[in-house]
Structure 1
Amino acid sequence: RPTSGTVTYPSLGSIVAHKRGAVAEGVPAYVVLGYPNIVRGPGFLGPEAGFIYTTDLKSGPAGLARPKWLSSFRNSRRQELLEKVRKGGERRFSKDGKFAEYDAALQESIRLSGPGFMKTFKLESEPAGLRNSYGSEFGQRCLLARRLFQSGVRFVEVSYSDNFKNGTGWDTHNEGQLKQHLLIQDLDDALSSLILDLNNHNLLEKTVILINSEFGRPGGFDSGGGRGHQSKCFTNVIAGGGLNHRGAYGVSNEVSEKIVENPVSAPDF
């Protein structure tokens, strides 16, 4: 649900993280591969249902990777000092809920910044042929998602933000429409490789893949040469997860302007 008034609702990822937690110890429950924003956040569930994120696969998760100039010895000294300060704060603010939340987040960040979880982001350890099959930046994010699932992360959101391919990404107004085929090819390469890769690692049957957007596009072009917004009829894709159904569910009219059979609302979905 969108933010309304004073209430900030949690994202789907945060709801899953809150209800189920991580699959394994030592990893977060929820990871965003893309830019952070309020609609991806925990809302009223609080920071424990939040996410870690990365926008740069080479740099790793934001706020967790140790700077190159910071040696392991100096980092250990800093943690020793921090532990002394933390214990003092714990005694002084023992009844302060905000301090407890901060302390929990701090301890988790220290744990996640260790080599155990951080090695998940080393995509160079994968075979070159596999990496190439995934394709561009978006595909590499999908490969990282598979590695995160292997490590025990419960929910991964992979954002498609390769705007450089056509100047607008999937917001295909005006001239952005002219190179939409590049986005489609990119998505096809990444998705097919992800499905095969998950299956090869015996993860497909227990991993639900969802391709989702907030609306579709009308069949016709607008005055700017692009395609506008269409919220009354569009498609999502679900794969994996042991689902028995195969093929399409629901029917639209010939130009996909309206649903004529088996509508699926957002709550149903």
Structure 2
Amino acid sequence: MANNYFNYSATFTKKYFFKEKIKKHQIFIKKIKKQAMKKIIKIIFSIFIFLLIYNVCLAASSSNYQIWIDTLGSGGGRSASGNYQIDSNISIQTGDISESANFREKTAFYAIEAEPTVGFNIQSVALNFGQLSKSSTAYSSHTFSAYTNAKSGYTIRVYGQPLNNGDYTIQAIGVPAVDSKPGTEQFGMNLVANAVPIVGENPSGGIGQAAENYNIANKFSFQEGDVIAYAESFTYQTDYTVSVIVNINEQTPAGFYNAILTYEFIPVF
């Protein structure tokens, strides 16, 4: 029993010292690791500070090429060697040409634009001029509205023929615009407020406006295909009132007269 006990004790003691050595070795390794980690953290921190201060990345290069990674700021940079050149830029829209004996390219950055939006609202209306007379002007009006985010605005044209009875057509005023003259055949329109006769309103809202020959109070015009309204850039909704006048003379044949006018709205992108 004594020998067995002694052998057991000896074995236990050896294991104990062996474990102690392992623990001491592990502690020593941990200290080394901590010191190494501190150095690594310091290095990483220093690199991070360097990047923040200089706000750039390093160039990749060899004997045949060099590429500058774009800066973290608002610009780019030129990359060149004996075989090629690249000039990248994100601060302007025009870009620049990169070329060598073997290739040529042009790079550029373009701004993102909104999706095109247009609107032209007009109801199908029937204008009633009543009984025409050579001694007075017949008139009526209707409205439409237009808007767009097109950077160059829009144009609105009118198409159709003046009042006619199938065999005879009342004379269109044409251009330039003139006063309303009872007793003279006239078919015309404008898009402004008038006093003679009292009809119409000026365009309201947005930046749309009546076109030349259709923008003068008390003067009227009509020529098929004319631009009657427009906007020079993107605009909120503009409301227009179209005033139409009709005059006849003694030679105008009796009958039932009608006309169909078509408006063409064209956004300009």
User: With structure 1 as the length reference, what TM-score do the two structures score?
Assistant: 0.20
Higher RCO (CA 8 Å, separation ≥ 6 residues): 2
Q: Give the number of the structure whose residues are more often helix, by fraction.
A: 1
Question: Could you say which structure has the larger radius of gyration?
Answer: 2
Structure having the larger proportion of residues in strand: 2
After TM superposition, the score normalised by the length of structure 2 is 0.20
